[in-house]
Amino acid sequence: MPVSREYIVKRLILLVVVVFGVLIITFIITRVIPAHPELLWAGAHPTEEQIEKAREQLHLNDPIYIQLLYYLRDFLVGDWGVSWRTRQPVLSDILSALPATLELVTTAFIIAIALGIPLGALAALKRNTWVDHVIRIVSVLGASVPVFWLALIFQLVFSSWLGILPGAKRVDEFIVLETGFKPITGFILLDSLLEGNFAVFVNALHHIILPAIVLAFYPFGLSARMTRAIMTEVLNELYTRSALAWGLPRRVVIYKYALKNTLAPVIASLGLSFGYTIIGAFMVELIFVWPGIGLYAAMALLSYDYPAIIGSIVLVAIFYTVINMIVDIIHAIIDPRVKL
């Protein structure tokens, strides 16, 4: 077995260390920023007495290390605090918004992998031809163009000018009310299929296309460029040329040997970029008014909602470290040469 139990235990310990490190740093930064969150907590037009009471409830009169100890104590028992903006538990808010973000990021990754790996392999097979040049240019643009700029351009062209696709939200409310749709898991595309509600499915699919394509540009560019580079090296390896010289069909050599040896490092890089894509989704969600973690975190930042800010960042840290560990394990399973 390429993955040892000791490795998994070490990675889990490292995961806890990283998450708590991110939590502590974020907590300190939010407390150093000059703001008056007690005004948000006290409500509209508060009196001096209400403001002072709010400071006591939020422990803002205590030193930072005391506030941190209070927060860590509650965090360890699953209490991530109460959002000062929504007045709801932060963990509950995050779990409600999480399916929207995961649905968007997963759709974007499916698009990126479905296009990036085949086009990268095609570029390697057609090296130094016009096909290779076009794919390389598009992949470089995909990996370098800022996602927020691309989101604004796509929204302006395809939604405002052409009116082909909707430029905001996950689904139209009148479709939900008209069909009586009730989410089960929070993943609208999946839930609508489970309920057989194809009107909601089609409407939600139209809404997700534009932000998903925008979000897919970076992982698409990364996968296409890496697939081309690695497959070019593999095709020039001695064992590949020997297999062709022995008369094995070119299709068998390409798909059974070359592509298989290309996928392991590409999958490892894509797994790491999944966390980056979640961060990129923050801006995309804000621009497309997508009710996920990104929009929730953006509204928390604008309102100095410390508990919501910390909870959102900690969630991203958890995802990033867990995905990193899973990718390493998958890499070891795909490539027997890797021992963990």
Assign residue 153 a region (left: φ > 0; alpha: ψ between -120 and 50; beta: otherwise). Answer: alpha
The Cα 205–Cα 209 span in angstroms is 6
Residues 6+ apart with CB under 8 A from 262: 121, 227, 230, 231, 234
- φ/ψ (deg, to 5) at 182: -130, 115
* Average pLDDT, integer, range 225-238: 83
- H or E element, residue 219: helix 198-235
pLDDT tens, 72-97?
888 888 888 888 788 889 999 999 99
In the predicted structure, residue 54 carries a pLDDT above the cut 90: no
Q: What range defines the domain where residue 245 resides?
A: 95-304
Query: Is 192 part of a structural domain of the chain?
Result: yes
pLDDT at 302: 82
pLDDT of amino acid 145: 86
Question: What distances in angstroms separate CA 228 from CA 136, 168, 174, 318, 337, one per listed residue?
Answer: 9, 35, 46, 31, 22
Cα–Cα distance between 249 and 227 in angstroms, integer?
21
**Residues 267-304: tens digit of each pLDDT:** 777 777 777 777 778 889 989 989 999 889 888 888 87
Report the C-alpha dihedral over residues 15, 18, 20, 22, rounded to 10 degrees: -140
Does residue 311 belong to any structural domain of this protein?
no
Confidence at 169, pLDDT banded by 50, 70, 90: confident
**43 has a pLDDT exceeding 80:** no
Question: Is 70 contained in some domain?
Answer: no
Residue 2 falls within a domain, yes or no? no
Whether 264 is in a domain gets the answer yes
- Amino acid at the residue 313: I
Q: What is the mean pLDDT of residues 243-253?
A: 74
CATH of the domain at 165: 1.10.3720
pLDDT of the residue at 207: 92
Q: What distances in angstroms separate CA 152 from CA 61, 144, 284, 287, one per listed residue?
A: 42, 16, 9, 7
Number of structural domains (the chain) is 1
Confidence band of 339 (pLDDT split at 50, 70, 90) = low
